[in-house]
Amino acid sequence: MKHLSDIMDGVVCVGRGGEVALVNSVAEQLLGVQALVATGGDVTALRAAGEVAAALVADVARVRDGAAPEAERTIEVFGRDRELRYVRCATRAVLDYQGAPAGAIAVLRDVTADYKADQLRNQYLSIVAHELRTPLTGIKAFAAMMAKGALGALSERQREACSSICEQSARLEHQIDKLVSLGDLESADYGADRQVFGLASFLESVVTPFREAARERGVALTVRSEAGDPELCADRGELRRSCQALVENALKFTAAGGAVEVAVLPEPAAAAAEGGAGCRFHVRDDGVGVAPRYQRRIFEKFFQVEDPLTRRHGGAGLGLYVAQGVVTAHGSRIEVSSEPGRGADFSFALPLHLPAPAGVGASGGDSNREAS
């Protein structure tokens, strides 16, 4: 077994009482501390060493206090060489043989090269997406004018051709929107544009665009809500896009004669945690399902379960990635329950609007309320 000093990642171990038990050589470089000085001292003493060390101290405190079993973040560091570097810090609680807290372990990795490559890729895709919008707008406008007869009378076959152009333009615009979303998800203020709105009207706006497509494919699309009509507090457009991505995915992998259900159900666990009536958004289908080995990977950017050269279903592998990013920005996470051949259930906790308790003044009001 290799010694910790041979590991390419930085490793920091913190004991039960908060003392630093180990700092390997890579962690020394990334934190800007000396193992000889840090080992044996309290982990909070590392805070003054810089941004990475401060983030590590904060995450160690979270997992040791039981606020979360693990924590992960990427820290931007402005180095002495005046270059930006990016360090990923993953911290996890350590338990003893009886399951009692015994400290924490943090793994540090310099991901500058990966981060910059991903940033360049997103920028390129964003530029391409915006450049595609300009000619697409013209194609849509002229196709719509022709379909309405504004440029002269059309034969039946010509009207069918114009209708097909409009339909394919809408599909292309949908894919372009996904590319644009890649850049938006990376922005620091993403998900901050929130407003308060009702669940019932929101559900209708999610499902309406798919009713005709479901009918044509012979798939039964139903909506069920057992949570009444609570108010949500979210970026309405982005949350709708996320929910629609789940519906679109379910319809894509459900054969004719199958069924897709969009449901909102009470969530007792959330009610107890939040002090209010929590509810969960579900999209269920009886389609092909997702094998356990892929249930995490389907949320990765551009990932496709099927072979790209032989797959039967279209798409760029961005729908679920964008949906997960939107839901995460709203404080939840999409969970999937599925078995191959037995359908799938995608769900996440909805961001409810919780009114301020009686007696709370303007200075202590509800942070979820729309700014306007």
Q: Where are the domains of the chain?
A: 9-110, 115-186, 195-349
Q: Which CATH superfamily groups domain 9-110?
A: PAS domain (3.30.450.20)
CA distances from 179 to 171, 173, 305 (A): 13, 10, 20
pLDDT value for 148: 83
Residue 80, token pair as written in the block: 């002495």
Q: Specify the pTM.
A: 0.60
- Helices 319-329 and 236-252, axial angle in degrees (round to 10): 140
The Cβ of residue 78 has, within 10 Å, a number of other Cβ atoms equal to 11
> What pLDDT band is residue 308 in, cutting at 50, 70 and 90?
very low
Q: What is the pLDDT of residues 94-115, one digit of tens each?
A: 888 888 888 999 999 999 988 8
> What pLDDT band is residue 312 in, cutting at 50, 70 and 90?
low
Assess contact for 241 and 182: CB atoms under 8 A: no
b/e map 148-179, b = 16+ CB within 10 Å: eeeeeeeeeeeeeebeebeeebeeeeeebebb
Q: Is the pLDDT assigned to residue 249 strictly greater than 80?
A: yes
Burial of 186 (0-12, 13-18, 19+ CB in 10 A): middle
Q: Are strands 84-95 and 70-78 parallel, antiparallel or unpaired?
A: antiparallel
CA distances from 288 to 71, 258, 281 (A): 34, 10, 21
Q: What is the pLDDT of residues 201-246, one digit of tens each?
A: 999 999 998 998 899 889 999 999 988 888 899 989 889 989 999 9
Bigger pLDDT: 30 vs 315 = 30
The topology under which CATH files domain 195-349 is Heat Shock Protein 90 (3.30.565)
CA distance 161 to 169: 12
Q: What is the pLDDT of residues 57-81, one digit of tens each?
A: 999 998 888 777 888 999 988 877 7
